[in-house]
Amino acid sequence: MPFSYESFSQLPLKKISAAVEYQLHKPSSSEVLVWIFFTDKGSDINTLKKYHSNIVSEKSIQRRKKVIKEDNPLDITDFRVNQNYIEQIENLGLKIKRQSKWLNAISVYADREKLNQIEKLPFVTSIDVVYQLPSGKVVNDENPEFNKPSVQPEGVHSYNYGNSFTQLQQMNVPAVHDLGIKGQGVTIAVLDAGFNRLSHEVFATMNIIAVWDFVNNDANVGDHGDMGTGTHGTQTLSAIGGFKEGKLIGPAFEAAYILAKTENTDSETPIEEDNWIAAIEWADSIGVDVSSTSLGYIDFDFPYTSYTWQSMDGNTCRITIAADLAVKKGIVVLNSAGNEGMATLTNTLGAPADGDSVIAVGAVTSSGVRSSFSSVGNTVDGRTKPDIMAMGSSVTVASTSSNTNITTSSGTSFSCPLAAGVAALVLSHNPNLTPIQVRDALRSTASNALTPDRFMGWGIVNAMAAINFYPLPVEGWTFKGTRNNFSIFLTWQTLSEKNNKGFEIERSLDKSTWTQVAFIEGSGTTTNVREYSYSDYFENYSTLYYRFKQVDLDGSFTYSDVLELDKIIPTKFELGQNYPNPFNPSTSIEYKVPLASKVTLKIYDVIGNEVSTLVNELHEAGNYLVNFNSNSLSSGIYFYSFQAGNYREIKKMVLVR
């Protein structure tokens, strides 16, 4: 009987997966590229943590601390695969292709005999296929009628974007550049098919800090005698970070870049997932902040030749597992949704776009309509995908045949780097945001945020709205507040060189609902320390919250951190003298309660008749102020009696008509 999928279920439980068995039974297969998974790292993690500087960079450590609240944010996944285990595999005559510390696995080419030997090793848990993943379809430009370029108005923005103005203006990027936010301080990894024309003029000022070819295992990411061509990577890199005024400008042209060649375009199945996983682990160790991958991996053949639409559940594809793990380590991961177009009953996504924490990017035309080739969701487990959209039809990119020309190309391959550039702008503006916060800022401010769906996700990104989604402490601010009973004194100063129009002061009782209580005029552009103050009066709340909103002359604004002011808790019961005294017609009475108590406050005339009950309720500890209006009472001497628990005190006041 021929070997079939149905026969898999009849196999005894083995470490070798059914996928490997299927590959071995192909007539053309003498060797199979497999993952070998190990039981453990074989070392004490606490000992390994002492040597973290040899594992990842300090920049990586600091990035991780945004999501891992520990002094040393390393875990077992960060430490290398057990070398003793690797040596035992090598002793079988096998050459290691890749090591993955995150998956605790290695990849090797092995035949049936070697696999049977490996299966018997006690430290091996399982053996599975390294999936060979075809890249997405090549797409032709959409109908030109849907992709009419926008003309940049003269004198409006800081830069002349040339033909790239259309793709950036759709995302409101030029307005962010006008604020001086251009990706500075952010490191971006571009994982692609190589970069064959880094000599192009749009890369002349690009800060490339590291490169590696994971196909050929060398530091040459171009085409010089290696397997694979790098035209695709050249174009995606130009879309995200190229810079040549009047021709092409990417959203994040002042970011630092890490370039990884992961795809071999010479083969029918251009990329193996172990290349991508090795590349993201390498970029993590350097200190990457954002990764952009314009390769969507899916096929519709027999399940064990590749992943399928049914694999898009966020937990099946190992490339997706690694991508989600990268996010957990503080990396913002963006991936093209895919160029597989529409399907009515299934998704057409490509891994790792199905990842729970991965930002999947679909494509639109210049008019904002979904490009017909753009893949659709949802994931098999029901999550909305794609996440966001950017222009992917007729995107302006660098030519791969000239050092000065530009051209256009289409695909989610180009919407992804554009969106990744916006993610870098968000981080450049607010470096403390976590990857999930960056994702939420992009999604919550996009054009379809109120009604996300499987076609457009949350919609086209809006860079200006995204950078302002989370409040940001204003540069150079110092501020404090003091509370004395019912008066609150706020002071602050700024060294900001922004055009400061003024400060809105906002108050909240719960840090959720904010009320503007004042606006303090600013002093315009300054390099000198400017000091400001404001006094607020608010009764009977133990804790109050304040924040400051600096409004600049150009209409932009940023928020301070929240200032929390607790009411001063008294150390003893105390009844204050009413003020004013004498009074007409009203006066205020202050009293202090050091612990929760039933409180009564009553007014009596000179012969002992009760004329008013001002308070009769349970109080928490704190300072209190109550107002007494004499209404129709006649002039004379009155007494007010304060009782809390066993404490009682009486004071005199005078009403003068």
Environment class of 409 (CB within 10 Å of its CB; exposed 0-12, middle 13-18, buried 19+)? buried
Q: What gap in Å lies between CA 216 and CA 264, rounded to an integer?
A: 9
Question: What do you get for the CA distance between the two ends of the chain, in Å?
Answer: 113
- Which residue type sits at 119? E
Q: Which residues contact 225 (CB under 8 A, 6 or more apart)?
A: none
Flag residues of the chain having pLDDT under 50: 1-12, 136, 145, 266-270, 299-304, 473-476
pLDDT at position 13: 53
User: What's the CATH number for 162-467?
Assistant: 3.40.50.200
Full-model pTM = 0.70
Sign of the CA dihedral running 242, 389, 158, 438: negative
Domain ranges of the chain: 5-130, 162-467, 478-566, 574-655
pLDDT at position 302: 44
Give the residues across from 258 on adjacent strands: 189, 210
Compute the half-sphere exposure of residue 249: CA atoms within 13 Å on the CB side of its CA.
21
* 345-395 pLDDT, tens digit each: 999 898 899 999 999 999 999 999 999 999 999 999 999 999 999 999 999
pLDDT at position 247: 95
pLDDT at position 540: 63
pLDDT at position 374: 94
CATH 2.60.40.3080 fits 574-655, yes or no: yes
Is there a shared CATH topology between the 162-467 domain and the 478-566 domain? no
pLDDT at position 45: 61
Q: What gap in Å lies between CA 96 and CA 38, rounded to an integer?
A: 14
CATH 3.10.180.10 fits 478-566, yes or no: no
Length of the chain: 657
* 275-334 pLDDT, tens digit each: 899 999 999 999 999 999 987 655 433 434 567 788 888 888 888 999 999 999 999 999
Pick from 306, 396, 298: which is nearest to 347 by CA? 298
Helix (H, G, I), strand (E, B) or coil at 187: strand
